Amino acid sequence: MAAEPSRRVLRRLRILLSALKPGNPVPRAGPAAAFGTSVTSAKVAVNGVHLHYQQTGEGEHAVLLLPGMLGSGETDFGPQIKNLSKKLFTVVAWDPRGYGHSRPPDRDFPVDVFERDAKDAVDLMKMLKFKKVSLLGWSDGGITSLIAAAKYPSFISKMVIWGANAYVTDEDEKIYQGIRDVSKWSEKTRKPLETLYGYDYFAKTCEKWVDGIKQFKHLPDGNICGHLLPLVQCPTLIVHGEKDPLVPRSHADFIHKHVRGSRLHLIREGKHNLHLRFADEFNKLVEDFLQEKSP
């Protein structure tokens, strides 16, 4: 009687070993694979453009990752796509129109660019059949998140933003002029974007971004979305890197002051890309915040 189980074990081992040969996908089955690491990507028609997104996880809590200037899901959120809990969350990372793989069209920067992104992001998630979503917005994606939370409050559960600003100052404009010429960027920062876009589109779009952001400085108080902050209703966590060379602390303080009930968390050694440099700390902070029961 003992021989039968042995034959079954040997057969399973042979199947497993054959599956592990180069070129063969490893079959996933059973509870251990229920929350696997697979990432799907697709494009969907939203507001007249085809928006690209990546999706992973099977949790009930939907989370949208919103990238920064020139960003995309794959370039901006690797550690979040890979490591945020697949059991707790369904994570979607989108490429805004003109960025990443959401091209055509080329990226442009009308004065309502962030309102347009906010509507695109919300409509994308509705197209994907989500009823509510939490937002994780970095830099420009943080601005988009603030606008989305203010304009579509019934659709937004919670929000985490970092490296965002609600207005533009003379100091900010000087900082932006310093990044206008991408040939002066460090190779580590430049290379992934150059690979994604090709040098010409990358360089041209960065220049267009600087010019696009400058237009807000000519508005009263350099306003981007400050007037909308009191309309944000969802629980909001603002994370700020105290060594961020692009966004001074005053911006995080302003958002914290004007978003009712918001929380400010400082990362002492954090720079603009704190979610990449301190990914484990950041991911735990986010998971804990998103799991908290709202009062």
CA–CA dist 116, 37 (Å, integer): 32
Helix (H/G/I), strand (E/B), else coil: 160:
strand
> Catalytic annotation on 244?
yes
Cα–Cα distance list, 178 to 175, 181, 187, 204 (Å)? 5, 7, 16, 15
CB atoms within 10 A of CB 142: 30
DSSP state for residue 164 in the 8-state scheme: -
Annotated catalytic residue within 134, 139, 145, 262: 139
Q: Which of 61, 240, 251, 272 is flagged as catalytic?
A: 272
SS3 content of the chain, % helix, strand, coil (to 5): 45, 20, 35
**Active-site position among 95, 244, 262, 275:** 244
11's tokens: 């057969």
| Catalytic (active site) residue 85 | no
In single-letter form, the type of residue at position 99 comes to Y
**Known catalytic residue at 200:** no
| Residues marked as catalytic | 139, 244, 272
